[in-house]
Amino acid sequence: MDYKIISSTCSYCGCGCGVLFQVMDGRLIDTLPMKTHPVNEGKLCIKGWNLHEHVVSDKRLTSPMLKKNGQLQEVSWDEAVRTVADRLTSIIEEHGPDSVGVLASAKVTNEENYLIQKFTRAVIGTNNVDHCARHCHSSTVVGLAAAFGSGAMTNSIAEIEDAACIFISGSNTSACHPLIARRVFKAKEKGAKLIVADPRNIQLSRFADVAVTQRLGSDVAMLNGMMHIILKNDWHAKSYVEERCEEFDAFKAVVEAYTPDKVEAITGIAQTDLKKMAELYATNTPASIIYAMGITQHTTGVDNVKSCCNLAMLCGNIGVKSGGVNPLRGQNNVQGACDMGGLPNVFPAYQPVNVKANNEKFAKAWGKDLPDQIGYTITDMTQAMLDGKLKALYVIGENPKMSDPDQNHLDKALEKLDLLICQDIFLSETAEKADVLFAAASVAEKDGTFTSTERRCLRVRKAIDPIGNVLADWEIIAKLSTAMGYEMNYAGPEAIFNEMASVTPSYAGMTYERLGLDGLQWPCPNTDHPGTRFLHKDQFTRGKGLFHAVEYLDPAEMPDDEYPYFLTTGRMFAHFHTGTMTRVSPHLNTEQKTGYVEIHPEDAKALAINDGDAVKLATRRGQIELPARISNKVKPGLLFVPFHFAENSANILTNSAFDPIAKIPEFKVCAVKVAPAGVKGTPHV
Amino acid sequence: MRQQVKAWLEQGTVNILLGYKLGQGYPLPCCFTKENLDEAAELIAGRARYFLI
Ligand code: SF4
CB contact under 8 A, B50 and A3: no
Q: Nearest-CA distance from A594 to chain B in Å?
A: 31
B-chain residues near A34 (CB < 8 A): 26
A-chain residues near B30 (CB < 8 A): 4-5
Whether B19 is covered by a domain: the verdict is: yes
Q: What is the ipTM of this complex?
A: 0.89
Whether B50 is covered by a domain: the verdict is: no
Domains of chain A, by residue range, sit at: 65-135+332-521, 154-327, 565-679
**CA-wise closest residue to A618 among A677, A536, A681:** A677
**Under a CB-based contact definition with an 8 Å cutoff, are residues A75 and A67 in contact?**
no
What is the per-residue pLDDT for A15?
Answer: 97
CB contact under 8 A, B52 and A32: yes
Q: What is the value of pTM for the model shown?
A: 0.94
Question: Across the interface, which of B15, B28, B49 has its CB nearest the CB of A20?
Answer: B28
Please state the separation of Cα A490 from the chain's center in Å: 29
Q: How many Å lie between the centroid of ligand 1 and the Cα of residue A177? A: 7
Whether B38 is covered by a domain: the verdict is: yes
Which CATH code for domain A154-327?
3.40.228.10
Specify the amino acid at residue A343: L
What is the per-residue pLDDT for B51?
Answer: 78
What is the per-residue pLDDT for B52?
Answer: 72
What is the per-residue pLDDT for B53?
Answer: 60
Q: Is the CB of A48 under 6 A from ligand 1?
A: yes
Which CATH code for domain A565-679?
2.40.40.20
What is the per-residue pLDDT for A86?
Answer: 98
Look at the alpha carbons of A234, A238, A242, A246 in this order and tell me if their dihedral is positive or negative.
negative
A·B CB contacts under 8 A:
44
What is the per-residue pLDDT for A297?
Answer: 94
**Under a CB-based contact definition with an 8 Å cutoff, are residues A445 and A465 in contact?**
yes
A-chain residues near B31 (CB < 8 A): 1, 3-5
Whether B31 is covered by a domain: the verdict is: yes
Whether B51 is covered by a domain: the verdict is: no
Whether B49 is covered by a domain: the verdict is: no
Chain B interface disruption, residue of A1, A2, A3, A41, most B CBs within 10 A: A3
**Mutate which of A40, A176, A180, A588 for ligand 1 pocket (most atoms within 8 A of beta carbon):** A40
Instruction: Please write the tens of the pLDDT for every residue from B10-33.
Output: 999 999 999 999 988 889 999 999
Whether B15 is covered by a domain: the verdict is: yes
A271-283 and A219-232 helices, crossing angle to 10°: 70
What is the per-residue pLDDT for A1?
Answer: 78
From 1.20.120.1200, 3.90.1150.10, 3.40.50.740, 3.40.50.1580, which CATH number describes the A65-135+332-521 domain? 3.40.50.740
* Cα A329 to Cα A291: distance, rounded to the nearest angstrom: 9
Domain ranges, residue B7: 2-44
Count of the separate structural domains present in chain B? 1
**CA-wise closest residue to A103 among A396, A521, A322, A450:** A396
**pLDDT averaged per 10 residues in sequence order, chain A, 685 residues:** 92 96 95 93 95 96 96 97 98 98 96 98 98 88 94 95 97 96 97 97 96 97 98 97 97 97 98 98 97 95 97 98 96 94 96 96 97 94 96 95 85 95 96 96 98 97 97 98 97 98 97 96 97 96 96 96 96 89 92 94 96 95 95 96 92 93 93 89 71
Chain A interface disruption, residue of B20, B22, B28, most A CBs within 10 A: B28
* Cα A51 to Cα A45: distance, rounded to the nearest angstrom: 10
Whether B13 is covered by a domain: the verdict is: yes
Question: Across the interface, which of A1, A20, A516 has its CB nearest the CB of B25?
Answer: A516
Strand-pair category, A346-347 with A436-439: unpaired
Q: How many Å lie between the centroid of ligand 1 and the Cα of residue A532? A: 22
**CA-wise closest residue to A47 among A452, A582, A578:** A582
